[in-house]
């Protein structure tokens, strides 16, 4: 992921900026539907692909430099249509062992490099076969047949399809209301939880939002044994004073909405600026921020080129390690945001590698759109899991797969639905911020002052911060707090019979 610099104010705790004082939170059916390709500037026209890439000073991916070995389109044989499990037998391509140069760093592909492309093509073909009404098994690949893996394209996964059709594109399209619905759904990322709220409180609107009503519905469901959160990944909750995570997430939603997140998204010049803003909120880490941004990218509120930003999570980092081994280490030491540069290489060279291996990759939608950098990051996570069975000698932190694949009855999934927002013209032009380093100013709002003490530089207060656990409380100078939170200081002094310094 890009280097991140945490920018703090000059306080005693050396990790806590002074914060504004706030006592409490208050509220002031189409298929592949889009008009034109949102990815028109993705370079997929060349019939040969070269193997070196790096970003220009402007931040845009450069053209690939000439490969020592160039494969022409006529020398490559497709393996057959992806809508049938049995494909034409072609001689297997030799393993790809040529060094790949990214930003001047020589990478040495492992056996997992070709596995990445085979996985991407076959996992997409499985989705095609299911949607075409084929019967299981959907593949002859035993690992893909027996274990659960997400789709090559994130947008085609079940939860994303539901988010687009039932959350984003149903209801008011006012930007504020759309952002509220996405925040609410993303907080739990579970279809059953969303449908419970719609059933009990719908239509779900920020204009009529009442935390107490939402709290009662969610608490009753949790007390009855219902799981409110997705089991796919951990949803860290902020600390807003409740002993129930689902209530603390409601407070976080309110904090985003009171900050008018929708207007900041619409006005942001770069996608990196959006990341810096969202990640500054309590409990929002790199992974949760990037996942929220991807959900928001299905709306009209966040219109950027799909390859403007990628944040590498633990799974994709492990996947890159398996694709290139220890040769990734030098790049990380010498090139800023090296993982992203490698993922951009994979994005721009995908057509070449599919053809090199004789793979028919169906792409996305009627325009056969290539994978974006977000899809590459997404697929790297899945290939990291796949390698645990296919290439167990490529070691990572995790070695087992636990979630098996079980076909859900005979009914085929519905036809894929692409966001209407993807037709927005702003998505056609890359706009990568020249400054790669992400600067995070974490937000700290004072919850309360709990104690005081004297120090050589004057009186200090023990500050508890909204959205953070007691372990993050810090000692702050009175002189600093008087500038930014005079009401908090005045209230503490009055309650404890103290005079101002």
The Cα–Cα gap between 36 and 422 comes to: 8
pLDDT at 479: 83
Give the three-class secondary structure for 482.
helix
Confidence bin at 52 (pLDDT 50/70/90) = very low
Residue 73 binned pLDDT confidence (cut-offs 50, 70, 90): very low
- 439 phi and psi angles, rounded to 5 deg: -105, 120
- Mind listing the pLDDT tens digit for each residue in 202-248? 999 999 999 999 999 999 999 999 999 988 767 788 888 788 999 99
Which one, of 336, 308, 329, 313, lies nearest residue 437 by Cα? 336
Q: What is the DSSP string of 83-147?
A: TSSS----PPPPP--S-EEETTEEE---HHHHHHHHHHHHHHHHHHHHHTTPPSP--S-HHHHHB
pLDDT value at 14 more than 70: no
pLDDT confidence of 45, banded at 50, 70, 90?
very low
**DSSP helix/strand/coil, 451:** strand
Kindly provide the b/e burial profile for residues 366-399, where b requires at least 16 CB atoms within 10 angstroms of the residue's own CB.
eeebbbbbbbbbbbbbbbbbbbbebeeebebeee
State residue 136 phi and psi, 5-degree precision.
-70, 155
Q: What is the pLDDT of residues 423-480, one digit of tens each?
A: 999 999 999 999 989 988 877 777 788 899 998 888 998 988 877 788 888 888 888 7
Instruction: Please give the pLDDT value at position 257.
Output: 97
Tokens found for residue 42: 């993705």
Tokens standing for residue 332: 């990380």
Please, are residues 441 and 429 in contact by the beta-carbon 8 Å criterion? Answer: no
Residue-wise DSSP of 249-267: HHHHHHHHHHTTHHHHHHH
Q: Give the count of alpha carbons within 13 A of 496, CB side only.
A: 15
Token readout for 150 is 């997400």
Q: What's the average model confidence in pLDDT over 394-410? A: 80
How many CA atoms within 13 Å lie on the side-chain side of 465?
A: 24
Per cent of the chain over pLDDT 70 is: 80
pTM: 0.78
Secondary structure (3-state) at 248: helix
Alpha-carbon dihedral 411, 412, 414, 417, rounded to 10 degrees: 150
Distance set, CA 421 to CA 79, 295, 437 (Å)? 34, 12, 29
Cα–Cα separations (whole angstroms), residue 98 to 64, 187, 335, 350, 370? 15, 44, 21, 16, 24
Confidence at residue 419, expressed as pLDDT on a 0 to 100 scale: 97
Q: 29, 416 in Cβ contact below 8 A?
A: no
> Which pair of tokens denotes residue 320?
């890159």
Bridge partners for 454 per DSSP: 459
**Residue 42: how many other CB atoms lie within 10 Å:** 23
Q: From CA 128, how far away is CA 81, in angstroms rounded?
A: 10
- Count of beta carbons in the 10 Å neighbourhood of residue 473: 19
Token pair of 22, please? 């706030």
CA distance readout (Å), 265 to 44, 77, 271, 277, 295: 29, 45, 9, 9, 13
pLDDT of residue 411: 64
Percentage helix, strand, coil for the chain under 3-state DSSP, each rounded to 5: 40, 10, 50
Distances (CA, A) of 474 to 12, 248, 465, 477, 492: 8, 21, 9, 10, 16
Q: Is the pLDDT of residue 39 over 50?
A: no
pLDDT in tens, 478-496: 887 887 678 788 888 888 8
Q: What percent of the chain has pLDDT over 90?
A: 60
SS3 495: helix
């Amino acid at each position: 992921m890009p280097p991140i610099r945490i920018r703090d104010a000059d306080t005693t705790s050396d990790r806590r900026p002074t914060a504004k004082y706030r006592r409490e939170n208050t509220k002031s059916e189409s298929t592949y539907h889009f008009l034109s390709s949102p990815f028109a500037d993705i370079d997929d026209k060349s019939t040969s692909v070269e193997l070196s890439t790096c970003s220009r000073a402007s931040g845009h991916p450069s053209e690939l430099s000439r490969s020592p070995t160039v494969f022409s389109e006529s020398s490559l044989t497709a393996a057959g249509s992806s809508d049938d499990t049995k494909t034409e037998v072609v001689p297997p391509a030799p393993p790809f062992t040529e060094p790949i140069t990214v930003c001047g760093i020589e990478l040495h592909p492992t056996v997992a490099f070709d596995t990445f492309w085979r996985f991407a093509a076959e996992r997409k073909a499985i989705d095609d076969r299911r949607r075409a009404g084929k019967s299981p098994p959907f593949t002859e690949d035993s690992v893909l047949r027996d274990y659960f893996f997400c789709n090559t394209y994130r947008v085609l996964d079940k939860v994303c399809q539901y988010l687009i059709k039932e959350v984003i594109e149903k209801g008011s399209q006012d930007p504020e209301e759309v952002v509220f619905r996405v925040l609410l759904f993303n907080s739990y990322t579970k279809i059953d939880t969303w449908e419970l709220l719609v059933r009990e409180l719908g239509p779900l609107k920020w204009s009529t939002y009442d935390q107490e009503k939402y709290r009662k519905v969610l608490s009753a469901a949790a007390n009855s044994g219902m799981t409110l959160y997705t089991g796919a990944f951990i949803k860290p909750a902020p600390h807003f004073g409740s002993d129930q995570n689902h209530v603390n997430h409601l407070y976080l939603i309110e904090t985003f909405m009171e900050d008018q997140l929708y207007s900041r998204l619409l006005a942001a010049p770069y996608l990196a600026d959006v990341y810096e803003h969202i990640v500054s909120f309590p409990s929002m880490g790199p992974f949760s921020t990037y996942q929220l941004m991807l959900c928001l990218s299905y709306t009209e509120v966040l219109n950027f080129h799909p390859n403007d930003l990628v944040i590498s999570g633990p799974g994709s980092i492990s996947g890159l390690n398996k694709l290139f081994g220890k040769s990734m280490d030098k790049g990380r030491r010498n090139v800023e945001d090296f993982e992203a540069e490698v993922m951009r290489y994979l994005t721009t060279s995908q057509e070449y590698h599919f053809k090199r291996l004789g793979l028919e990759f169906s792409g996305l939608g009627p325009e056969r759109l290539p994978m974006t950098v977000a899809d590459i990051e997404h697929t790297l996570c899945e290939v990291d899991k796949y390698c645990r069975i296919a290439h167990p000698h490529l070691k990572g932190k995790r070695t087992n797969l636990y979630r098996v694949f079980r076909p859900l009855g005979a009914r085929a999934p519905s036809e894929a639905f692409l966001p209407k927002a993807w037709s927005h013209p702003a998505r056609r032009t890359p706009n990568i911020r020249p400054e790669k380093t992400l600067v995070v100013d974490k937000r700290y709002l004072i919850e309360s002052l709990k104690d005081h003490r004297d120090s050589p530089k004057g009186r200090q207060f023990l500050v508890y911060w909204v959205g953070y656990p007691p372990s993050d409380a810090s000692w702050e100078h009175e002189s600093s707090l008087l500038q930014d939170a005079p009401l908090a200081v005045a209230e503490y002094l009055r309650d404890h019979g103290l005079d101002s310094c």
